[in-house]
Amino acid sequence: MAVYPVTHPLIRHKVTMLRDPKTNSKDFRDIVTELSTFLAYEATKDLPLTNITINGWQGTPIDVQIVEEKDPSIVPVFRAGIGMQEGFLKVIPTARISYIGYYRDETTLQPKNYYAKLAEDVQERRNYILDPMLATGGTTSAVCTLLREAGVKDIKVLCILAAPEGIRRVAEDHPDVDIIPAVIDSHLNERGYIIPGLGDAGDRLFGTR
């Protein structure tokens, strides 16, 4: 597994804006969209290029390159992952969308899947899991397992903040999955919140509490 934190100063700046409790939901959503666009660029920089020949502006053949892949599938994890969808789609507008939902079983404390509608031929596509907060890693690991069971080979996780605990969990359970966090934070508190973090990303995005 590889972790690719994005080191650009604008990423730091925008994450700082998200951490500020004075940032309202509309601005929070806009910033998450911008950050998701950056993350999508980073996550797709290994796409293979195919050489082709086209007729250029002078009417003569020129050798150029294109990305000739089946459209990827993005996997926004309910609820907060929805906030990252638009930003990713600015980079690859034709991406398929595989929605997945989990809740936490109050008895076992394990993530339980309640919704999954995967893209057609999902196993032939690159899959990008979108979830702004990689906290304990329990849900992300479960999403990876679900995708693996569907035959998916290529999985990357895009998140705004990651806790070291979550990175370790995904690395142990799914060593071949890459993680692209905007920022890696310090640790989790006793309630599973990322510290320093930004609070509940779903509530901040959608104005709930």
Segment interacting with ligand URA (CB under 6 A) among 39-47, 106-114, 120-128, 190-198: 190-198
Q: Which of 102, 182, 197, 205 binds ligand URA (CB under 6 A)?
A: 197
Q: Which is nearer to ligand URA, 133 or 152 (CB)?
A: 133
Nearest to 172 by CA among 131, 191, 144, 193: 144
User: Which amino acid is it at 112?
Assistant: K
CB 100 within 8 A of CB 130: no
Q: Which is nearer to ligand URA, 119 or 188 (CB)?
A: 188
Active-site pick, 7, 12, 104, 121: 104
Nearest to 154 by CA among 119, 121, 127: 127
**Residue 40 vs residues 29, 111, 116: alpha-carbon distances, Å:** 16, 26, 22
The residue to which tokens 């070291």 are assigned: 164
Q: Is residue 40 involved in binding ligand URA (CB under 6 A)?
A: no
Q: Is residue 194 involved in binding ligand URA (CB under 6 A)?
A: yes
Size of the residue set binding ligand URA (CB under 6 A): 10
104 catalytic per annotation:
yes
Active-site pick, 53, 63, 108, 191: 108
Q: What is the distance between the alpha carbons of residues 205 and 27, in angstroms, rounded to a whole number?
A: 9
Q: Is residue 200 involved in binding ligand URA (CB under 6 A)?
A: yes
Task: Render the burial of 12-24: b for 16+ CB within 10 Å, e for the rest.
Answer: eebbebbeeeebe
Alpha-carbon dihedral sign for residues 102, 18, 27, 8 = negative
Q: Which is nearer to ligand URA, 16 or 65 (CB)?
A: 16
Q: How far is the CB of 160 from ligand URA (least distance, A)?
A: 10
Task: Give the footprint of ligand URA on residues 111-170 (CB under 6 A).
Answer: 133, 135
Q: How far is the CB of 27 from ligand URA (least distance, A)?
A: 17
Q: Which is nearer to ligand URA, 41 or 193 (CB)?
A: 193
- Dihedral (Cα; 92, 168, 136, 6), 10-degree rounding: -40
50 catalytic per annotation:
no
Please identify every residue annotated as catalytic. 104, 108, 200, 203
- Residues in the site for ligand URA, rule: CB under 6 A? 80, 133, 135, 192-194, 197, 200-202
